[in-house]
Structure 1
Amino acid sequence: MARARIYKPAKTAMQSGRAKTRKWVLEFEPGSARRVEPLMGWTSSGDMDSQVTLRFDTKDEAIAYAKKHGIECQVFEPKTQRRSIKAYADNFKYGRQDLWTH
């Protein structure tokens, strides 16, 4: 039986925006270990499911797809992002708590 992970991807370090993080992803777990091809040193695998990545608008759609096709799945909830909104002027305000450094 195939196993899969359902998650919402985090933004990469190269992004400042939220692109490619809105949809839920169903990704199959590797069914077999990867092996190194002795002549060229390439890494290969006979598992074709590891190449499949499905994207869904909602978590429920991804779970329904997995149940319909008999895929055992594990759901990972996204961590909530804490945002601290600061203004540049706060660096220079009179009653600031941090030490001033140059």
Structure 2
Amino acid sequence: MLDSGGMPSSHSATVSALAATIGIQEGTGSPVFAIAVVLACIVMYDASGVRLHAGRQAELLNQIVCELPPEHPLSNARPLRDSLGHTPFQVVAGGLLGYIVAFLMRNSN
């Protein structure tokens, strides 16, 4: 929940659970549900797009730094975090998990 990357996407699970819960409680025609769906779409797009590519760039930069000669000032730089985003499959799995959790929590009450 507090870390980036991995399977499934906890960010996607959280926002999809939020949207599903609002849809169940308030109805899918409510403005609050529309806002939650837009928020979920933005978070999921960011997780599988911008953050995934930033992680790939960090991976390449780490590789470049490792290949620098020892006397280079950046040769001892701390590696960048490269597990930032999610694959589309991880995002979809997180979204489904969030929906399932919201549905199960509704039925447990």
Q: TM-score, normalised by structure 1?
A: 0.29
Query: Higher strand fraction: Structure 1 or Structure 2?
Result: 1
Larger radius of gyration: 1
Larger RCO of the pair (alpha carbons < 8 Å, separation 6+): 2
TM-score, normalised with respect to structure 2: 0.28
Identify, as 1 or 2, the structure richer in helix: 2
